[in-house]
Amino acid sequence: METFLFITTAIVAVGAALAMVLSSNAVHSALFLILNFCSVAILYFLLRAPFLGAVQVTVYAGAIMVLFLFVIMLLGAENAELGEEKIGWQKPAGLILGVALLAEIGYVAYRGTKLIDAPVADATNIGAPTTISAKLFSTYLLPFEVISILLLIAVVGTVVLTRRRVVAREERQS
Amino acid sequence: MQDRSLWVMIIHAVVLAFAALTSFAYLTLMERKVLARLQHRVGPNQAGPNGYLQPLADAVKLMFKEDIMPSTADKWVFTIAPILATIPAIVIFAVIPLGPDLVVFGERIPLAFASLNIGLLYFLAVTSIGVYGITLAGWASNNKYSMLGGVRSAAQMISYELAFGLSVLVPVMLTASRSADGFGSLDLVQMVNAQAGTWLGFIPKWFVFTPTGFVAFFLFLIAATAEVTRAPFDLVEAEQELVGGYATEYSSMKFALFFMAEYMKLIAMSGFAATMFLGGWRFPYLEDIAGNWGALVGFVVIAAKIFFFLFLSIWVRASLPRIRYDKLMDFGWKRLLPVSLATVVATAVIVVLTNPL
């Protein structure tokens, strides 16, 4: 049963990811990406990490993609033509990074199941919210707080950047 | 996972889905009747005795209407959108505890279909997915009014989801203050169990009767009304300015599905409000009845509570005018969000002070 579920979900996930890249309509791409996020969430459930799965759906498929769709719809950018490339080194850089990622995946696959063996043993309860929260607020408290500060900086940075543009425009007008 | 056989679960799920669909049908009748009374009208009274067969007549009418596909619409998304709106509205019912365990033919059936340890997160995840139906419907129709409705719905959901999520955190923390190990719970069954008993013998220990729970209850009601886009937050389908909003181009069953999604979400939200703040199926002294009678009484109690919230929603719709769009945004970000943040902080302080670990 679990293998069957895994194979179906994995096919859907890979298919959705491919369709997302290949689709020419931005809204369709966004929808395929949501499908991909949801199938990855099911994979988390299969790995007995229900918390992670639910957060995946809430945060990625729910919050972030709604914003994406909102922006696409608002700008009417669903059928944007591929314009002149502004950054010349974009394509070679993408190629290099892609190859690096492939090499990484290949290395992990070559190392095989040895990497995965260890944590599975006591994994039955590891994904429960209480276990995660207990770990997060004791052992990993410092990284947790550092990340929250990082996010706060990002938010403040966004506000500063957009405000500066608004102020500049107002100065030009006056 | 619960130790139930697959067949029991399938039958349970089917019964639950049908119960939800039937209550949706009769909620439309209730809304029309109550609205009519509140506006000094009679309301639908022709189909069947006293108009009680009106939902059936509506369903037949909608099914036989022509299903029109606008020629400029995005065909796929146009078809998927109503489905995307309806499915979350149905599956959300899975985690609402409708009563204590029921025993049928020796099979123990928990009236909470799924007692997940992430129940509340499931609830938030499913409601956040529910936005797509309306937003995509607006986009796929390729009509400027529909589009405006869709964009409004996305903006409204994003703005109110924060206050919504924060107000839901308060019962979680209050559960922590009453649990043995000091951990809160995202499991709605445990949340209901934490609200058992009374103070002074007559005040139920429901979360709404705690100081911060009281505030969070009203925050939840406001945010939930905005999430299901009910009046006075129904700018998504404001007839006076947007024709029919996101549903302008829809007809026949596709149109009916949107209504179904909206009303089922309303029922589900009422169920969650009852579960998290009003003790779910618990009622002082009635909750002590054991066995199948206890399950029946529990179900009647939560049904009564859900009915109360549904009535309240219709009442509000009849009483309040629609809020202007910029005021809606102002209210969400500048009033509701700070207040809910403050409530969460206050709850945390109270819980820690009253429960030294």
Q: What is the pLDDT of residue A81?
A: 59
Name the most confidently modeled range: B1-5, B168-172, B193-197: B168-172
Give ipTM to 2 decimals.
0.77
Q: What is the pLDDT of residue B3?
A: 58
Q: Would you place residue A82 in the very low, low, confident or very high pLDDT band (cuts 50, 70, 90)?
A: low
- Compute the distance between CA of residue B233 and CA of residue B271 in angstroms, rounded to an integer: 20
Q: Is the pLDDT of residue A120 over 60?
A: no
Q: What is the pLDDT of residue A121?
A: 44
Ranking B341-345, B348-352, B353-357 by mean pLDDT, the lowest is B353-357
B chain contacts of residue A136, beta-carbon cutoff 8 Å: none
Q: What is the pLDDT of residue B258?
A: 84
Task: Please choose, from the candidates B93, B135, B142, the residue with its C-alpha nearest in 3D space to the C-alpha of residue B114.
Answer: B93
pLDDT tens digit sequence for B264-288: 888 988 988 888 888 877 777 777 7
- Compute the distance between CA of residue B159 and CA of residue B226 in angstroms, rounded to an integer: 9
What residues of chain B have any CB closer than 8 angstroms to a CB in chain A?
74, 76-77, 116-118, 121-122, 124-126, 128-129, 131-132, 135-136, 138-139, 147, 150-151, 154-155, 157-158, 161, 183, 185-186
Q: What is the pLDDT of residue B2?
A: 47
Average pLDDT over chain B, rounded to an integer? 82
Contact flag A51-B118 (C-beta cutoff 8 Å): yes
- Mapped onto helix, strand or coil, the DSSP state of residue A23 is coil
Question: In chain A, what percentage of residues exceed pLDDT 70?
Answer: 83
Ranking A97-101, B76-80, B103-107, B211-215 by mean pLDDT, the lowest is B103-107
Among A32, A51, A67, A73, the residue to mutate for chain B (most B Cβ within 10 A): A73
Domain ranges of chain A: 1-78
- What are the backbone angles phi and psi of residue B107, rounded to the nearest 5°? -95, 130
Domain ranges of chain B: 67-354
Q: Can you name the CATH fold of A1-78?
A: Four Helix Bundle (Hemerythrin (Met), subunit A) (1.20.120)
Ranking A118-127, B64-73, B194-203 by mean pLDDT, the lowest is A118-127
Q: Which residue of A has its CA nearest to B116?
A: A50
Q: Would you place residue A96 in the very low, low, confident or very high pLDDT band (cuts 50, 70, 90)?
A: very high
What mean pLDDT do residues B136-147 have?
Answer: 81
Q: Is the pLDDT of residue B1 over 50?
A: no
- Compute the distance between CA of residue A39 and CA of residue B340 in angstroms, rounded to an integer: 33
Task: Please choose, from the candidates B75, B80, B87, the residue with its C-alpha nearest in 3D space to the C-alpha of residue B21.
Answer: B87
Q: Which residue of B has its CA nearest to A34?
A: B129
Q: Is the pLDDT of residue B114 over 80?
A: no
DSSP output for B143-179: -HHHHHHHHHHHHHHHHHHHHHHHHHHHHHHHHHHHS
Ranking A79-93, A101-115, B168-182, B296-310 by mean pLDDT, the lowest is A79-93
Name the most confidently modeled range: A159-173, B73-87, B185-199: B73-87
H or E element, residue A158: helix A141-173
Higher pLDDT, A174 or B280: B280
Q: Tell me, rounded to whole angstroms, the distance of Cα B191 from its chain centroid.
A: 17
Q: Is the pLDDT of residue A153 over 90?
A: yes
pLDDT tens digit sequence for B248-260: 778 778 888 888 8
Q: What is the pLDDT of residue A99?
A: 93
